[in-house]
Amino acid sequence: MAMRQSFVLRQLKILAYILLAVIAAIAHSDELTTAQVAHDALQAAVVVEVSKADDRTSGSGVLIDENGTVLTCYHLLKGAKSALVKLSNGGYFPAQGLLAFNPTVDIALLKVQGQGLPNLPLGDSSMLEPGDSIVAIGSPKGLENSLSEGIISAIRRVGDLPDLLQRELLESGRKETDRLIQFTAPVSPGSSGGPLINSAGEVVGIVILGLSATDADNIYFAVPVNECKPYLKNEVVIKFDEVDLSSIGGTTKRIGIAPKDFGLGDPVKEHIAFAVPRGSEPTFRTPPGLVVDVNSVQVVTGGEMQRSEERPNRGEFQILTDGSVLFSAEDAGRKMTIEYEGRPRRVAILPIVNRSKFGYLPPMLRTSLTSTLVNLGFELVTEAETQTVAREHKLNVEGVIRGIEGAITRDDVINVSDKLNATHILFSYVDTRKYEGYMTEYTGVLVMVIMFDGLTGKPVLTTEKSAQKNTFFSSCKSARRTIIGRIVRRIFNEYFGIASSDSG
């Protein structure tokens, strides 16, 4: 009996070992061997060659989508006049510019023109733990696509690092709560910007070198890839000659830094009944001031409408990239209801310059600007907040109107938009003009609007319009209010390509 029990126990232990082995195999079934990781990673890793005013340098990067987005580090591009991206197959791609960069975190997104390029997915760096296997890829001292293997040593808070290293990072703009990945895979100069890859073949970090406090200690750090994700939605390419990369540091400037929520208000929902416009391409246009979530768009009718990825036929609709909805010409005139969600772009209207003798015209102009922009889907920064920031930065709005060079610099606009979290900053002035009519003289109104992009500081709209010469009025306030409203609507309707019946 005892022998039988001993035999059963041995069999149970064997089954237990087998079960544990199966569980372990299942738990690691999504892990790849180093050779498997290397196969895809080496194709997606790139060399970044940077030309500066009096120097050339090179580092590393990684393609993160098939359309040519390269993730690398910022300090490699500091002072860049141009850049080339070299693939593992020897092909070169000139960088069109940057999609985003953050000097403080030391990350940058380069854009090259390409399709179907090899790339790696991004992982979740918050899931990393000490002991996790990783590989690093870089091009140290010109040895392209060098691969090294190691583990995660620790996830370190800047505030917990040794004094010398901590001080160096804090002086560069990092906060004590920021985290860095410490790892053991050896990397050398030339590997900055290269990917840190987990056992699932995902990018989990971007290698950063150049920290003087670690140069002699064989300590290696990477920026967690989750720090990069807020910038991935940006689609605006900033050319190298549009921004001085050598002058940027700290956290006070937002040049090139475009998180997906920069300058956007809280989510809003719209529910609108309408009739499909007539024409060869009947299109329902969502407000241009609203960044529409295309996945939220729904068309509700008495009958079922089908979503189409191509040009729609009868009973179908297609969502365009700007969130507008295209219908079939056969459905023109049909009554429908559309639902969608979006986030409004925020606009700050700075103090209005008045060149007329009528003191009440600036408030009228501001009221008209506000109502027009709100109808276009924008969100207005409060007047009190805008006035306060304008005074803090001593904005010479009158100087802008008069064309004084340097009255307001790009940095001024960028800093103000950053402070107000506004996608656009708007200047304007109002004036009155004398027109000669039949046997008499009439007064007309002139309005100028200058709108700056809050991200780049560049003007995107500069226009001046007045009442048409056949529209005259005396000193009647209501008449002036009406004509100012017409001028403002005309300015923005033309800028956004919206058909309008206003004659201005």
75: annotated active-site residue? yes
- Side-chain-side CA neighbours of 371 within 13 Å: the count stands at 13
Among 344, 362, 383, the domain boundary falls at: 344
92 and 152, same domain (yes or no): yes
How far is residue 367's CA from residue 209's CA, in Å, rounded to a whole number? 53
Residue 501 is assigned to a structural domain of this protein: no
Residue 255 is assigned to a structural domain of this protein: no
353 and 457, same domain (yes or no): yes
**CA 129: distance to chain centroid?**
30
pLDDT at residue 237 in the model: 80
Residue 15 is assigned to a structural domain of this protein: no
Residue pair 334/328 in contact (Cβ under 8 Å)? The answer is no
How far is residue 108's CA from residue 75's CA, in Å, rounded to a whole number? 9
pLDDT at residue 34 in the model: 73
Which position among 148, 192, 199, 466 bears the catalytic label? Answer: 192
For the chain, the domain total comes to: 3
CATH number of domain containing 435: 3.40.50.10610
Residue 340 is assigned to a structural domain of this protein: yes
The dihedral built from the CA positions of residue 364, 365, 368 and 370, taken in this order, carries a sign that is negative
Torsion of CA 389, 426, 246, 183, to 10 degrees: 80
pLDDT at residue 29 in the model: 47
339 and 352, same domain (yes or no): no
313 and 359, same domain (yes or no): no
Residue pair 250/293 in contact (Cβ under 8 Å)? The answer is no
362 and 296, same domain (yes or no): no
Helix (H) or strand (E) holding 412: helix 410-420
Residue 262 is assigned to a structural domain of this protein: no
340 and 429, same domain (yes or no): no
How far is residue 101's CA from residue 54's CA, in Å, rounded to a whole number? 22
237 and 373, same domain (yes or no): no
Among 311, 344, 377, the domain boundary falls at: 344
Q: Specify the 3-state DSSP secondary structure of 53.
A: coil
86 and 147, same domain (yes or no): yes
How far is residue 419's CA from residue 225's CA, in Å, rounded to a whole number? 26
Among 185, 214, 247, the domain boundary falls at: 247
Q: Specify the 3-state DSSP secondary structure of 382.
A: coil
The partner residues of 452 in beta bridges, in order of sequence, read 425, 459
pLDDT at residue 248 in the model: 43
Which position among 58, 60, 75, 424 bears the catalytic label? Answer: 75
Distance spanning both ends of the chain, measured CA to CA: 106
328 and 382, same domain (yes or no): no
Residue 258 is assigned to a structural domain of this protein: no
Q: What is the pLDDT along the chain (504 residues), one digit of tens a residue?
A: 555 556 555 665 666 565 555 554 544 445 667 777 778 888 889 999 998 877 888 889 999 998 899 999 988 888 888 899 999 888 888 998 888 887 778 889 999 988 889 999 999 998 999 999 999 988 877 788 788 889 999 999 888 888 878 877 777 667 777 889 999 888 877 788 999 999 889 999 999 875 655 554 678 899 999 888 877 877 778 778 766 555 443 333 444 445 557 788 889 998 888 888 887 788 888 899 998 888 888 888 766 788 888 888 888 888 887 788 899 888 888 888 889 999 999 999 998 988 888 888 899 999 999 999 999 999 999 999 998 888 888 877 777 777 676 677 777 888 888 889 899 999 999 988 776 666 666 677 889 999 998 877 778 888 888 875 555 455 577 878 888 999 999 999 998 887 655 543
351 and 309, same domain (yes or no): no
Residues spanned by the domain of 225: 34-247
Residue 179 is assigned to a structural domain of this protein: yes
Cα–Cα distances in Å, from 410 out to 136, 313, 400, 452? Answer: 39, 47, 12, 9
How far is residue 336's CA from residue 284's CA, in Å, rounded to a whole number? 10
317 and 368, same domain (yes or no): no
How far is residue 284's CA from residue 264's CA, in Å, rounded to a whole number? 23
Q: What is the pTM of this model?
A: 0.54
Residue pair 286/400 in contact (Cβ under 8 Å)? The answer is no
Phi, psi of 61 (to 5 degrees): -165, -175
Residue 94 is assigned to a structural domain of this protein: yes
CATH number of domain containing 87: 2.40.10.120
453 and 480, same domain (yes or no): yes
pLDDT at residue 254 in the model: 44
Residue pair 251/315 in contact (Cβ under 8 Å)? The answer is no
Q: Residue 491 has which token pair?
A: 């300015």
Q: What share of the chain is helix, strand, coil (3-state, %, to 5)?
A: 25, 35, 40
* Residues 6 or more apart in contact with residue 293 via CB below 8 angstroms: 323, 340, 341, 342
178: annotated active-site residue? no
